[in-house]
Chains A and B, each alone.
Chain A
């Protein structure tokens, strides 16, 4: 028995190979290959755990082509946690087969450090916005990150000039009448790529009478966890727990579906450290996603420029299947007068963004996205909204590529517009 898999062995042993997961896996729908579906993952991990198989470089595609969207888990009769099994496989893979140097740099040096990451993004932005990226591409720099990186470059349209954190000083964080106090966890996707969404979130929070304390957090650690780098994920979790504890608020809000999901899972990272686990639990209990926090308390909204618009919602995997937050965002949208909410077929089917999946596995990600766009077209919506930066970026790219006249907005932008007075 390979100790590495202790925590998932019972899980994968419950897979009785019925194969129903084939009907739900977005990647299997694209490849039709057993190595990509939960039953195959469970068989691999069981083989590795029982030491009937040995990890080697050939496992790379099987292990890393999974979106971790959990569609299989939600539809599995014994609910086998294939997502955890895949991550366990990845963890052993990077330990035994190796981790690309660039990945190590990202997880151990850049993501834990706002400033370093900022500088790096700045450098990327310079390339991106000035055409230097062509040079970088020619030099093969982008391919450090994966074989599809250069093709994937168009996914991010433009990197903003000013990060959210640089604007904090100019923002109103104190409401006229303080009803409550919340910590705002700044997700990297918003800080560096979509700062206007963070601004919306803060504005809506303050508008609701919340004093907003900006957390001095780094990356939540999910990207590292997803790649099986537990050491890096724990390191970031520790930093963030410390940063959040300092703020001493009862509630921690983030409009990033991935961050909120992972913050809630922090306790699971510290099974071997009961003291840290307790601290993680205390933090996890306070975490609320944007719609989860807002839906029960938001008051009157007005349509403003949204008047007459048809709106649909895409469920981020980390909101729906990881947190079970499905009703709240829809409730929020339905509270806006003068708009129509229309449900998208398979609204909770993964868009293929999945963190950096669209960059690492561009071709497959695009095929997953095509299906999303087909479903989106069926809604006839004017606005597509969601609650995750990765989804916003991926869906915007999809709409742009397909030439659809549909606006993609984060739900906090939507609510900000609907909260505007007159």
Chain B
């Protein structure tokens, strides 16, 4: 198909200025925040769902593949266009359509940042629970596609627990609604299927989310440890005690030093680990709970601990955690994050494995993880201009994911599969399950044009 012909047709749908086609402009749509590279054929900025439906219908008719993209802050290639496909860009489709306090729902367009929604809700005393560290720039559509988590998911669950409905443009170009403001739709959970499908089953154009009243009180504690193991043991002990804090986040020394160089969150440079514990909810009983947690910390040899005095101090402590990925560029220019997850009790073993792999492949690894739900984020640090190092990094990454799978865990907590972990899918899925995924994909997207080559590995690729 002639590129000019496609361009002209798309320009007729969205207007001339909303289609990018020059190499210079396309080049910056060849990446995401991870390591996968692709090549865009065209980029089209959309403003409303009718345009999306028209675009998808047209591309379906012409047999051209496409991928929906929000902010491109994803980490495993989910929004990277393959085969010179068309990028359908949602950055300008970023409105809040409705804040429905009585029903505790918010309706948003996919391009809006998670944090923009949070800020609008906060003014009314509400919030949306999933809070990925990338929240200030990652889009709600992307959060849905990746089934994003975040520190607070320990207590409140991930995106799929908070999205109740969506307007979707199916790969046929048909516009439809799945779910809605009501709590539960009967029959198979189509909404659940869509969340985390990384845009391979259709394109979401409106999202209905559950919102919750802001907690009466929040207490955030920073606990300093001289070993990662002690911090990890504290986490297990807290949960064994029957306390589920809103967050339990650990960072190791490599990450602490990088974070401090960049955002000055007040983590001591010589600490081997810091643990961020946040309690939220009713004021009654919270002090007692924090007292109990403090005792558990002390039992595990905490070096020191302090509680954020106010919202400002709390934000500073969190700024360090949210900036952890970006900050490691202070040490080495690039990183690969392996988003493996293990049952919580296996965390110490997983960390030992990570350390061994770091030594084996001679690549520094920093650890920052959602300790409460066993979600690791080992950051393998390297220079992507060094081909030999890059090769070792990829090997190390694969080995870490294998170690997680071997410990009874899985290969992704919240960053998705994209193209980066396609092969690793076979570590956790054995055959019929992947066949079922393929069959669903095939049924919904007959021509295989909707973000092809992502998430579901080809059966033939099985090692």
A68-83 interface (Cβ within 8 A of B): 76-80
Cα–Cα distance between A80 and B333 once the two chains are bound (Å): 11
Contacts of A17 in B (CB 8 A): 31-34
Nearest-neighbor residue (CB-CB) of A43 within chain B: B28
Measured CB to CB, the closest approach of chain B to A87, in angstroms, equals 18
Contact A40 B329 (CB under 8 A): no
Q: Counting CB contacts under 8 A, is B158 at the interface?
A: no
Min distance, Cβ B366 to any Cβ of chain A, angstroms: 13
- Contacting pair A43 B27 (CB below 8 A): yes
Contact of A22 among B29, B137, B333 (CB under 8 A): B137
Partner of A19 from B94, B115, B137, B384 at Cβ < 8 Å = B137
**Measured CA separation A47–B39 after assembly (Å):** 14
**Are B326 and A18 in contact, with the CB atoms below 8 A?**
yes
- 18 A-B pairs whose Cβ atoms sit less than 8 Å apart in the complex: A16-B333, A16-B335, A18-B326, A19-B71, A19-B72, A20-B134, A20-B136, A32-B111, A35-B24, A43-B31, A44-B28, A53-B23, A58-B22, A76-B326, A77-B330, A78-B326, A78-B327, A78-B330
Asked if residues B27 and A20 are in contact (CB atoms below 8 Å), the reply is no
Residue of B nearest to A78 (CB): B329
Write the nearest CB–CB distance from B219 to chain A, whole angstroms. 27
Bound Cα distance from A35 to B72, whole angstroms: 13
CB–CB A19/B33 < 8 A: yes
| B263–A77 CB distance below 8 A | yes
Are B33 and A16 in touch, CB under 8 angstroms? yes
What class of interface size applies to chain B in its complex with A? 35 or more
Nearest CB in chain B to that of A50: its residue: B385
Chain B CB within 8 A of A141 CB: no
**Is A20 in contact with B326, judged by CB distance below 8 angstroms?**
yes
Given the known inter-chain contacts A14-B329, A32-B91, A44-B24, please indicate yes or no for A22 contacting B31, CB distance below 8 A: no
User: Does A33 interact with chain B (Cβ within 8 Å)?
Assistant: yes
Q: How far is the CA of A220 from the CA of B404 in the complex (A)?
A: 59
Distance in angstroms between the alpha carbons of A142 and B329 in the assembled complex: 45
- The 8 A CB mask of B305-345 against A (1 = contact, 0 = none) is 00000000000000000010111111001110000000000
Complexed CA–CA distance, A27 and B22 (Å): 20
Smallest CB separation, A97 vs chain B (Å): 12
Decide yes or no: A34 and B323 within 8 Å by CB, A23-B113, A77-B263 being known contacts: no
**B 137-150 binary contact with A (CB < 8 Å = 1; else 0):** 11000000000000
How far is A76 from B136 in the complex, measured between Cα atoms in Å?
A: 13
User: Is B72 touching A14 in the complex (CB atoms < 8 A)?
Assistant: no
Which of B45, B92, B115, B333 contacts A23 (CB under 8 A)? B115
Chain A positions within 8 Å of B137 at CB level: 18-23
Chain A residues whose C-beta falls within 8 Å of the C-beta of B385 in the assembled complex: 13
Cβ-defined contact, B71 with A22, below 8 A? yes
* 6 pairs of A and B residues whose beta carbons are closest in the complex: A77-B326, A32-B91, A78-B329, A40-B28, A34-B28, A19-B73
Contact A16 B329 (CB under 8 A): yes
* 8 Å CB interface, A16-58 against B: 16-23, 28, 32-35, 39-40, 43-44, 47, 53, 56, 58
Interface residues on A, range: 20 to 34
Query: Closest CB-CB distance, B77 to chain A, in whole Å?
Result: 12
- A35: shortest Cβ distance to chain B, in Å? 5
**Using a Cβ cutoff of 8 Å, how many contacts connect chains A and B?**
102
Which residues from chain B contact A18 at a C-beta distance below 8 Å?
Answer: 33, 73, 134, 137, 325-326
Contacts of A22 in B (CB 8 A): 71, 73, 91, 137
With an 8 A cutoff between CB atoms, is A381 at the interface? no
Q: Are B327 and A77 in contact (CB under 8 A)?
A: yes
Does chain A have a CB within 8 A of B25?
yes
Which residues of chain B have C-beta atoms less than 8 A from A360's C-beta? Answer: none
Interface centre among A18, A32, A44 (most CB of B within 10 A): A18
Complex CA gap A66/B329 in Å reads: 24
Residues of B within 8 A of A298 (CB): none
Considering the chains assembled together, what is the distance between the CA atoms of A62 and B94 in angstroms?
22
B424 at the interface (CB under 8 A from A): no
Counting chain A CB atoms within 10 Å of each CB, the highest count among B24, B33, B138 belongs to B24
Q: Is A194 an interface residue (CB 8 A)?
A: no
Measured CA separation A35–B28 after assembly (Å): 6
Residues of B at the A interface (CB closer than 8 Å) are: 20, 22-25, 27-29, 31-34, 45, 71-73, 89, 91-92, 94, 111, 113, 115, 134, 136-138, 262-263, 323, 325-330, 333-335, 383-385
Within 8 A of B (CB), among A192-219: none
Residue contact B92 to A53, C-beta cutoff 8 Å: no
Q: Is the CB of B92 within 8 A of A78?
A: no
Any B CB within 8 A of the CB of A15: yes
Query: How distant is A407 from chain B, measured CB to nearest CB, in Å?
Result: 30
Cα A13 to Cα B328 in complex, Å, equals: 13
- 4 extra interface residue pairs, beta carbon distance < 8 Å, beyond A13-B385, A19-B72, A32-B92: A23-B115, A33-B91, A44-B27, A56-B24
Asked if A59 lies at the interface with its beta carbon under 8 angstroms from chain B, I say: yes
Q: How far is the CA of A18 from the CA of B323 in the complex (A)?
A: 10
Smallest CB separation, A73 vs chain B (Å): 12
Q: How far is the CA of A56 from the CA of B22 in the complex (A)?
A: 11
Residues of A within 8 A of B32 (CB): 17, 19
- B24 lies within 8 A of A13 (CB): no
Q: Check B329–A34 contact: CB distance below 8 A.
A: no
Chain B residues near A16: list those with CB within 8 A: 33, 325-326, 328-329, 333-335
Contact A14 B24 (CB under 8 A): no
Least distance between B52 CB and chain A CB atoms (Å): 15
Distance in angstroms from A70 CB to nearest chain B CB is 16
What separation, in Å, do the CA atoms of A43 and B31 have in the docked complex? 9
| Chain A: CB-nearest residue to B90 | A32
Which residues of chain B are near A76, meaning CB under 8 Å?
326
Q: Using an 8 Å CB-CB cutoff, how does the interface string of A163-179 with B read, 1 for contact, 0 for none?
A: 00000000000000000
Tell me the minimal C-beta distance from B30 to chain A in angstroms: 8
How far apart are B434's CB and chain A's nearest CB, in angstroms?
30
- Chain A contacts for B263, CB-based, 8 A: 77
A34 and B330 within 8 A (CB): no
Cβ A77 vs Cβ B335 within 8 A? no
- For residue A42, which residue of chain B has the nearest CB? B28
Q: Contact at A58–B329, with CB atoms within 8 Å? A: no
Q: Tell whether A79 pairs with B24 under 8 Å between CB atoms, given A18-B134, A19-B33, A32-B91.
A: no
User: Separation in Å of the B384 CB from the closest CB of chain A?
Assistant: 8
Q: Cα distance A34–B262 when bound, in Å?
A: 24
Measured CB to CB, the nearest residue on chain A to B323 is: A77
Closest to A34 in B: B28
Of listed B27, B136, B335, B384, residue having the most chain A CB within 10 A? B27
Whether A78 and B27, one on each chain, are in contact in the complex, defined by CB atoms closer than 8 angstroms, is no
Q: Please give, as numbers and ranges, the residues of chain B lying within 8 Å of A59 by CB-CB distance.
A: 24
Given contacts A77-B327, A78-B327, contact A34 B29 (CB under 8 A): yes
Residues on A with beta carbons closer than 8 Å to the beta carbon of B262 = 77-79
